[in-house]
Structure 1
Amino acid sequence: MYAASALKQYQSVNTQARVVDASPHRLIQMLMEGGLTRIAQARGAMERGQTALKGELIGKSIAIIAGLRDSLDHQQGGELAGNLDSLYGYMMARLTEANISNEPAVLEEVAGLLRDIKTGWDGIAD
């Protein structure tokens, strides 16, 4: 994992958590947590008809997933990194579609995928 890239992406979405002492593993966890939070917030904004806020939150979600994608180490990760790269690309495209279509189900689909990835990541020891 490229910790500096993950740290930069995490800080760019205005999170308040301390990241200075976090391990690379924890930084990825924090990115995933931030992504899930932004997607949930975007859904709320979508349901309330807050179009600008919805777009901003979906944009932040996309940026977080892009950070996760950028942090993949394709040399060490091999096929798994390639599969995650494709899945992250799919998730970013679906978030864009959710922003355009105002479909909460699309946000839920992406959140479910990210939760599944996070569950696997959380199972890996530091």
Structure 2
Amino acid sequence: MCRGTSSTAASPRWRRPSPGPRARAPTWPLSSIRSEGSNTDRGAVDASPTEDTTMNYGRRKTDWGMYQSNEILSRPPEALVVLLYQRLLVELQRADRQIGAGELEGKAVSLSKASSILFELMGSLNHEVGGEIAGRLAALYSYFVREIHEVDRSLDRKRLQRLVEVITPLHESWSRAAQQSVGGAPVAGSNTAPANP
């Protein structure tokens, strides 16, 4: 056959094979298959839903997430600020370790989370009630965001450690303020040394 000519009879048209039916996972747990010694017919399957099914597990997981959300949202605003500061410190310390280990993707994620927390803190400021203090905090949070972006670009661990040293006293101050607002009871997340998950 010559080049440039086409022949439909010589070369059949290629078509993608159809995927066919896909196997689906059973909706019941494997433990629900009755053993030979049971009083029902051999090999019979009990398809009744149990607590171990995937669907129920997902629902329980969602219920737990809703419980956690409700628990957090029912706290006083000062306690929420303390939790945000604590998480901010955790993310910054994690980023420091990741920079040291050369985990650049993880560092980027941690610093992005830290920036998001700072934007949340900025959004929580009430400039009408807070006045000059709210304005100063907004400027400080903006400075922190710029520093985080600079650390992300330069991988300067000393700069990141200085940032943690500046944020730690703010976390402690908010912890004390939150404790005073709830009558001296310790606020969850108010410890001065953030946990490293």
TM over 0.5: yes
User: What corresponds to 1:9 in structure 2?
Assistant: none
Moved more, 115-124 or 42-51: 115-124
Q: TM (normalized to structure 2)?
A: 0.54
| CA positional deviation for 1:113 | 1.8
More relative contact order, 1 or 2 (CA 8 Å, 6+ apart) = 1
| CA positional deviation for 1:123 | 2.0
* Residues 78 and 61 of structure 1, relative CA distance in 2, 3 Å threshold: same
Aligned to 1:123, the other structure's residue is in SS state helix
Aligned to 2:111, the other structure's residue is in SS state helix
Specify the code of the residue in structure 1 equivalent to 2:85: M
Specify the code of the residue in structure 2 equivalent to 1:85: A
| CA positional deviation for 1:21 | 2.9
How large is the RMSD of aligned CA atoms in angstroms?
1.4
Specify the code of the residue in structure 1 equivalent to 2:107: K
Unmatched segments (≥5 aa) in structure 2: 1-67, 182-197
Unmatched segments (≥5 aa) in structure 1: 1-15
Confirm whether residue 97 of structure 1 aligns to residue 153 of structure 2.
no
Q: Between Structure 1 and Structure 2, whose CA radius of gyration is higher?
A: 2
How many residue pairs were aligned?
111
**From 87, 112, 126, the counterpart of 1:34:** 87
> 2: distance between equivalents of 1:60 and 1:72?
19
Write 1 or 2 for the structure with the bigger share of helix. Answer: 1
Moved more, 17-26 or 76-85: 17-26
Q: TM (normalized to structure 1)?
A: 0.83
> 2: distance between equivalents of 1:65 and 1:112?
16
Paired-residue identity, %? 24
User: What corresponds to 1:121 in structure 2?
Assistant: 174
Judge conservation of contact 2:92–2:110 (CA < 8 Å) in 1: yes
Judge conservation of contact 2:79–2:175 (CA < 8 Å) in 1: no
